[in-house]
Amino acid sequence: WLHLLGLETLALRMERHVANAQQITAYLKTRPEVAWVREPEMGSVFTFGLRGGREAGRRFIDALELWSHLANVGDSKSLVIHPASTTHSQLGDDEMRKAGVEPESVRLSVGLEDAGDLIWDLDNALRAADRVT
């Protein structure tokens, strides 16, 4: 029964996930701290690169207040991970690149929160990350 209840609102939730992700990718493209953005294709999970590499990524993650620092994706809450300081931290930069992960990569899984609030939090974290470049 609970599965059916969740399915009834799936389309509405996905619309919100995607709309939020579109607003956030548009915002990130305007920021000088961001080197690149790999936009989602009709989804809400994507990556972007921070100028400043690993250390900028650590500072960025530590400065976030609204995003949860977790490795999973597709939650109703917004999630973030910096693979170079978590899942791939045992690798050097060259090894990481061979595995398809850039040291400056940050992955976002955009949730259902207000996009303006999420962007506010990203803005503060980008300013913190930029202090190391």
The string of pLDDT tens digits covering residues 75-109 is: 899 999 998 888 888 888 899 889 888 889 999 99
Please check whether residue 77 is in contact with residue 111, taking contact to mean a CB–CB distance below 8 angstroms: yes
* Confidence at 37, pLDDT banded by 50, 70, 90: very high
Residues 6+ positions from 75 with CB-CB distance below 8 Å: 68, 109, 111
Please check whether residue 5 is in contact with residue 32, taking contact to mean a CB–CB distance below 8 angstroms: no
Indicate if the pLDDT at residue 8 is higher than 90.
no
Residue predicted with more confidence, 3 or 19: 19
The model carries a pTM of 0.88
CA of 90: how far to CAs of 15, 94, 109, in Å? Answer: 37, 12, 23
Query: What pLDDT was estimated at residue 90?
Result: 85
Domain map (residue ranges) of the chain = 2-130
CA end-to-end span of the chain = 52
Query: What pLDDT was estimated at residue 2?
Result: 64
- From CA 76, how far away is CA 97, in angstroms rounded? 30
- Tokens found for residue 10: 């799936």
CATH of domain 2-130: 3.90.1150.10
